[in-house]
Structure 1
Amino acid sequence: MKNFALPVLFSVVLLTATACGGNTGPAAAPTTSASTVGEVAAAAGQGIPKPTAEQEAKLLAAVEKINPAFINRKTVDNARNQCSSILGDSPEANLVRSVKTRFEGLGVESVSDAEAKQLLKAIRTNGFCK
């Protein structure tokens, strides 16, 4: 019986160590879709790109020209979060849908497709989203 107990005990210890996050090898890469690459990069410590003060002022001016109702305390954060989707190479239809979702609320009942496309252009051409 002693010959059987040792391998079982070893297996239990090994399984416990690896299940508890033991550092026994390289971590498995997270499974991601193309639409979440930007979010994964941000979570991995690279961060969501942030505009400089000058870029932020230009972004707000561009957004205000599209629709002044889009200017609120979340405008820059919405643009930064949208940037993560842009960098994730999401399909254009998904980008339009996500920008509409991000910019609705706080006094904005809806964002048209045309406005969403203009917002995407403003974010893409601002210079911070890279």
Structure 2
Amino acid sequence: MKNMIVIAIALLTLLLTLLLTAACSASPNPEPSAGSASAGLPASLPKPDAAEQEALLASLAAIDPRLPSDTAVDKARRLCGRLLGQSPEDQLIAAAKAEFTGGDVPAVSDEDAQRVLSAIGANGFCR
């Protein structure tokens, strides 16, 4: 009887170990955190065509010529995802400021962040 209990405990331990190992090694499906740039983004972000991209870069340069043109399209696409996800305005402004602050731009004002969002929304690719 004692042998059967020991065997049962050993089998349960082995089974639990296998289940935990399988659960830990399964590829995770990460959920974006609330503070991350990708929070609330659709799986497939709209992409501007060549004319829309040129117009977008011109609009952004008119807001602040220091805004980085080499990464601006990707930043605009991420912000577009937030616009389409109907994030609250304060979160949109914070996201625009976070996306475009850095490098040659020490800080993006709330007004400029709103102008960036308006430029993205009016561009035509963000639908």
Matching residue of 2:17: 12
Runs of 4+ off more than 6 Å: none
In 1, the alpha carbon distance for the partners of 2:76 and 2:22 equals: 43
TM-fit CA distance, 1:8: 4.0
Of 73, 76, 79 in structure 2, the residue corresponding to residue 79 of structure 1 is: 76
Give unpaired runs (5+ residues) of structure 2.
none
The RMSD of aligned alpha carbons is 2.9
Q: Cα gap change, 1:78/1:20 in structure 2, threshold over 3 Å: closer, same or farther? A: closer
TM-score (norm. length: structure 2): 0.71
The equivalences for 1:1-130 within 5 A come to: 1-2=3-4, 4=8, 5-21=10-26, 30=31, 36-38=39-41, 41=42, 46-130=43-127
1:29-59 per-residue CA deviation (whole Å, 9 max, x = no partner) reads 94865x8220xx4xxxx34322111110111
TM-score (norm. length: structure 1): 0.70
Instruction: Please identify the structure whose Cα radius of gyration is greater.
Output: 2
Contact 2:63 2:115 in 1 (8 A): yes
Give unpaired runs (5+ residues) of structure 1.
none
